Structure 1
Amino acid sequence: MEPTIITIETPSLGDRSYLAHDGDVAFVIDPQRDIDRVLEVAEEAGVRITDVFETHLHNDYVTGGLALARRLGARYHVNAEDEVSFDRQPIRDGDVVDVSPRMRVRAIATPGHTFTHLSYAVETVTDSGATASAVFTGGSLLFGATGRPDLLGQEHTGALVRHQFASIHRLADELPEQAEVLPTHGFGSFCSAGSTGGSTESTIGQEKRSNPALTQQEEQWVADTLAGLDAYPAYYVHMTPANAAGPGEPDLSAPERADKDTLAQRIDAGEWVVDLRTRTAFAAGHVTGTLNFGLDGQFSTYLGWLIPWGARVTLLGESSEQVAEAQREMVRIGLDRIAGAATGGPQDWTDRPLGTLETAVFADLSQVRHHRPVHILDVRLAGEYADSHVEDAQNVPIGELLDRIDEIPQRELWIHCGSGYRASIAASVLAARDHTVVLVDDDFAGAGDAGLPMTSSP
């Protein structure tokens, strides 16, 4: 009987963790830092976790692997070649871990996303031998794509991209076509190189037929992969050191309540006071000087990208549940400095006049350009801008906004992205610095049909 595999989703980071069990004993692959979710899954399944495996020292989140292993007394498997400051069960290419008499895990070296990346094939053991039913591929083989090879620095990218190609082919050659492919990244994660196309499941056989790394010649694939790389979140630089140091369990206790006077003082002092509501609610009325990172998008990704590392954050949410969700999102990437929180609405958070944001769609922008001069600010990634953009729009990718804020003119700014989420973040940041802003809350795919002149970069 093949193991049962339970997926634990973290949509805001575009990642998945996994728990696999045989009805009695379980192991976990790449757990997020908030390990209570894993413990709940194990309890519901009625299984005990004996082993925890890391595919690599992650770049996009703080792991819960060490904390989970310590909590349960489980074996913690981390590549023997990784330099870490904690005791682990060292594991290498070809090592086999007998999790139970019916289930074992085989390590497969798959460098490319990192030099020490491992994939893990789960094998069902019978009297006639062991058969791989699934492979946990971390940041190696993704659905229709691969993990990006540039996160360790440009000096290593050329070597890693070649390793990645070889690793993908090794998996395809060594594993049966019916084996499930179970990656950690690739569901909106910036750790992905290339599009995963929205797929939610795959097998080795399906990847052989559709994944460019398995259908293209190496030189073409390498060239396409390198050409498609774009910026990734600034907080990534802090993740590998945190994971090598051995992070403990996060503190998810409720933050201290911040009253109106406290909020005013923090805003006046230039601290980060973050409004968690949707961009529609924020635009309708907000505390002047607050920043809008809605929980309805990739909240932790973009907060982690923009915030000065180590800065204190005060959270404003409609409910204590909303604040708790944001707090959970933040600790996953090591943002532990939560100074306080307030719940309710803007009228509960300030006695000062509320700020508002004017909102519009691309058709409005098309019309207004004929009547008065406006400045169009496109906060999408450079690659998105190069593919297609509104003529004469200034591109300042959202992750570069604070560093390039002096380049943005003091004019009427019409700010857009691909759908409105990133534009709302940028609009709130610029409005807090006394810019006149209009939030274009619309789908960029319709900009040309709305009458705007479009162009692309060579």
Structure 2
Amino acid sequence: MDVVSFRTPGLGDQTYLLIHEGKGVLVDPQRDIGRFLDAAAERDVDLRFVLETHLHNDYLSGGEQAALRTGAELIMPAAAAPAYRHTPAFHLEDIDGGAGLTVRPVHTPGHTPEHTSYLVLIGGEPVALFSGGSLLVASAGRPDLLGPERARSLARLQHISLRRLAALPPEVALYPTHGEGSFCTATGAGRLTSTIGAELAHNALLSIDDPEKFADALLTAPMPIPAFYRHMGPANTLGVPPMPPVHVPELDAVPEGNQVLDIRPRQAQARGMLPGSLGIELDDDFGSWTGWLLPHAEPITLVAEPGQDVAAAVTQLAQIGVDTVRGVVRHLGEAATQTYELLELDAFVERLARPGAQLLDVRMPSEREQARLEGAVERFLPDLFTQGVPTELDSARPVLVVCASGRRSSIAAGLLAREGYRASVLTGTGAAELAVELGGEHAA
């Protein structure tokens, strides 16, 4: 048996291809199925099953399309009841894959009500567990994505599910879908894969015997929920169309009514963006931030540097159901008049000390608790888009923006510049280093 993993770092997820004697099992594929099917073809694998652990909240699934493309059998939790053809997986009803390969569904509600993990047996011996959003490395799938009304009930179910999985043999390999960087984890997830034995030894959640205390641990300080999540579950229930071809026309100007999204490096954005545009530089989490901050499904024109990989940006957007990129503009000329400033730590501190300087902290509340910046106006980056620029900020005075690395603060600075503010961004390690530099009550 061999397991090939496919990491999607911007979403904090992994897809898996299990191979046994030429037969393949694909687990939780994302919408861009080409990379998985190409890997199977390169290894001369006959794809036997496509397994879905749950109706995903953080991306569009490629499960149905992968099954249709290859003739594999699509297996989904029985309680998911999607609107397309599939084989329902019932708790502990084994599915025979031939050549000694058996897939055993294990109902593990908690992350979602229908959630099902899959235990793989070879020759009757359990060897691998695909746990989706149930038992994660050093964590568990969060139970609050379907709303606060159901969160505590699902958290108690997650407690039962984790204990059920922890009873498996310690040598069983653990392959979760959600991992480090995912907003589907209840606490910060660690490594990408593990074993049942390692989790028994190191996963603190498995040591909590009381279901209510377990629920408290999962729900006391939940992470924010990205705005685009609300669109993923319904789409995965009704069926996801094939991913469209990645083709982006070259444009000389932005079409009327388009959102203008600048994906160039922040150094280029700071020197000048098109008026009215938003800057989110292309990186692994580009799609997530775009889906979180921009109105869903509105037409988009990208602004990119000559030679920049626009296909990567379009693919990330397609993974979360944004198929509305109308084209790309690569030559801005003198039209790029929307600017902000990038500053290293020493220059940022000096600027902050000047009369009239204003400090805006766009980190998450949990981050701010670890390194507080006294006197800062605090507004998490997505709230800056939904609630607007804080009224405490004076547009006639400079605004210095900080986060942990400069990524979120550069997005915020672009928004501030669009609204007529003079913004400066702290680059580098960000708020924690600034807190230490300022000293006293500012220190982390």
Q: TM tier, shorter chain?
A: over 0.9
Corresponding residue number in structure 1 for 2:5:
7
Shift of 1:362: 3.8
Are 1:363 and 2:346 matched, yes or no? yes
Shift of 1:256: 2.2
Shift of 1:365: 3.5
Q: Which of 355, 371, 387 is the aligned partner of 1:372?
A: 355
Moved over 6 A (4+): none
User: 1:73, 1:217 → 2: CA distance?
Assistant: 44
Partners of 1:363 and 1:447 within 8 A in 2: no
Q: Which of 31, 36, 39 is the aligned partner of 1:38?
A: 36
Partners of 1:293 and 1:299 within 8 A in 2: yes
User: 1:297, 1:397 → 2: CA distance?
Assistant: 20
Residues 456 and 233 from structure 1, CA distance in 2 versus in 1: closer, same or farther, beyond 3 angstroms? Answer: farther
Residues 353 and 42 from structure 1, CA distance in 2 versus in 1: closer, same or farther, beyond 3 angstroms? Answer: closer
Shift of 1:280: 2.4
Q: Which of 186, 200, 213 is the aligned partner of 2:192?
A: 200
Partners of 2:9 and 2:284 within 8 A in 1: no
Residues 77 and 456 from structure 1, CA distance in 2 versus in 1: closer, same or farther, beyond 3 angstroms? Answer: farther
5+ residue gaps, structure 1, are: none
User: 1:455, 1:439 → 2: CA distance?
Assistant: 18
Shift of 1:396: 1.1
Q: Could you tell me which amino acid in structure 2 is paired with residue 377 of structure 1? A: L
Residues 309 and 453 from structure 1, CA distance in 2 versus in 1: closer, same or farther, beyond 3 angstroms? Answer: farther
Corresponding residue number in structure 2 for 1:432:
418
Shift of 1:392: 1.4
Q: Could you tell me which amino acid in structure 1 is paired with residue 415 of structure 2? A: V
Residues 239 and 353 from structure 1, CA distance in 2 versus in 1: closer, same or farther, beyond 3 angstroms? Answer: closer
User: 1:320, 1:75 → 2: CA distance?
Assistant: 41
Partners of 1:306 and 1:399 within 8 A in 2: yes
Q: Which of 99, 102, 105 is the aligned partner of 1:104?
A: 102
Aligned residues: 439
Q: Which of 113, 116, 122 is the aligned partner of 1:115?
A: 113
Structure 2 SS opposite 1:401: helix
Shift of 1:187: 2.0
Residues 434 and 168 from structure 1, CA distance in 2 versus in 1: closer, same or farther, beyond 3 angstroms? Answer: same
Q: Could you tell me which amino acid in structure 2 is paired with residue 420 of structure 1? A: G
Shift of 1:73: 1.6
Are 1:254 and 2:241 matched, yes or no? no
Higher alpha-carbon deviation: 323-332 or 385-394: 385-394
What CA deviation, in whole Å up to 9, does each residue of 1:370-398 have, x standing for no partner? Answer: 32122211111122223332101111111
Higher alpha-carbon deviation: 228-237 or 277-286: 277-286
What TM-score does the superposition give when structure 2 sets the normalisation length? 0.94
Shift of 1:400: 1.2
User: 1:453, 1:361 → 2: CA distance?
Assistant: 21
Q: Which of 162, 183, 188 is the aligned partner of 2:181?
A: 188
Structure 1 SS opposite 2:76: strand
User: 1:245, 1:204 → 2: CA distance?
Assistant: 34
Corresponding residue number in structure 1 for 2:155:
161
User: 2:340, 2:351 → 1: CA distance?
Assistant: 17
Corresponding residue number in structure 2 for 1:213:
205
Residues 250 and 321 from structure 1, CA distance in 2 versus in 1: closer, same or farther, beyond 3 angstroms? Answer: farther
Corresponding residue number in structure 1 for 2:170:
177
Corresponding residue number in structure 2 for 1:238:
231
What CA deviation, in whole Å up to 9, does each residue of 1:49-102 have, x standing for no partner? Answer: 121010000000000000111111211111121132111111111121112222
What CA deviation, in whole Å up to 9, does each residue of 1:99-127 have, x standing for no partner? Answer: 222211110011110011000011101xx
Corresponding residue number in structure 1 for 2:267:
280
Are 1:448 and 2:435 matched, yes or no? yes
Partners of 2:340 and 2:422 within 8 A in 1: no
Partners of 2:362 and 2:379 within 8 A in 1: yes
What TM-score does the superposition give when structure 1 sets the normalisation length? 0.92
Residues 205 and 78 from structure 1, CA distance in 2 versus in 1: closer, same or farther, beyond 3 angstroms? Answer: same
Q: Which of 323, 326, 329 is the aligned partner of 2:316?
A: 329
Residues 277 and 93 from structure 1, CA distance in 2 versus in 1: closer, same or farther, beyond 3 angstroms? Answer: same
User: 1:66, 1:397 → 2: CA distance?
Assistant: 36
User: 1:11, 1:454 → 2: CA distance?
Assistant: 35
Residues 131 and 38 from structure 1, CA distance in 2 versus in 1: closer, same or farther, beyond 3 angstroms? Answer: same
User: 2:266, 2:275 → 1: CA distance?
Assistant: 14
Q: Could you tell me which amino acid in structure 2 is paired with residue 424 of structure 1? A: S
Residues 166 and 353 from structure 1, CA distance in 2 versus in 1: closer, same or farther, beyond 3 angstroms? Answer: closer
Corresponding residue number in structure 2 for 1:422:
408
User: 2:274, 2:439 → 1: CA distance?
Assistant: 33
Partners of 1:17 and 1:184 within 8 A in 2: yes
Q: Which of 332, 348, 369 is the aligned partner of 1:386?
A: 369
Shift of 1:254: 0.9
Structure 2 SS opposite 1:57: coil
Structure 2 SS opposite 1:447: helix
Q: Which of 137, 146, 149 is the aligned partner of 1:152?
A: 146
Superposed CA RMSD: 1.9
Partners of 2:435 and 2:442 within 8 A in 1: no
Residues 232 and 351 from structure 1, CA distance in 2 versus in 1: closer, same or farther, beyond 3 angstroms? Answer: same
Corresponding residue number in structure 2 for 1:402:
385
User: 1:282, 1:380 → 2: CA distance?
Assistant: 21
What CA deviation, in whole Å up to 9, does each residue of 1:330-352 have, x standing for no partner? Answer: 00000011111134xxxx23442
Q: Could you tell me which amino acid in structure 2 is paired with residue 429 of structure 1? A: L
Partners of 1:252 and 1:324 within 8 A in 2: no
Shift of 1:430: 1.6
Structure 2 SS opposite 1:380: coil
